[in-house]
Amino acid sequence: MKALIVYDSQFGNTGKLAQEMAEAMTGEAVTSRASEARASDFEGVDLLIVGSPTQAGRPTKPMQSFLKSVSGPIKLAAFDTRMSIKFAKIFGYAADRMAKTLQKQGGTLVAPAEAFYVADREGPLKDGELERAADWARKLQTTIG
């Protein structure tokens, strides 16, 4: 199985999660920043995972640009980093928006959008989040066979 994990990260937290996911998967798992991802990266990909910090309920601008370049049938999963504060629920979260965008463009969601939590605006990740990311990645891999 080949997985492509495309992420954007402002303070390094989402990038750490993406790397942890790639290391937890068997087979080939490649990470790429959203601003550097290219169409050729999709060759032979069985699973696309996208991740972004949540900013005003949306993914970052580089991730939004990347999402526009994805089309066609691909198995996908989405995650975000966020703070656990109540007012953010009003705006929504990046992972849900990314998943919906990619589904509209022909992708098939293999798991519900996932949230990983930071302790403060710039991080660090809350305790246990890297381990949880590794577990989530292994479950995604099992789901698609």
Give the separation between CA 90 and CA 107, rounded to whole angstroms: 26
Nearest to residue 79, comparing CAs of 38, 30, 116, 32? 116
- Convert 104-127 to b/e letters by CB count within 10 Å (16 or more is b): ebebeebbebbbbbbeeeebebbe
Kindly indicate the confidence band of residue 88, based on its pLDDT and cuts at 50, 70 and 90: low
Q: Which residue has the higher pLDDT, 62 or 92?
A: 62
Instruction: Please check the confidence at residue 19 and state whether its pLDDT lies above 70.
Output: yes
pLDDT on residue 92:
85
pLDDT on residue 72:
85
pTM of the model: 0.95
pLDDT on residue 40:
81
Q: What is the CATH number of domain 2-144?
A: 3.40.50.360
Q: Are strands 28-33 and 47-53 parallel, antiparallel or unpaired?
A: unpaired
Kindly indicate the confidence band of residue 63, based on its pLDDT and cuts at 50, 70 and 90: very high
pLDDT on residue 66:
96
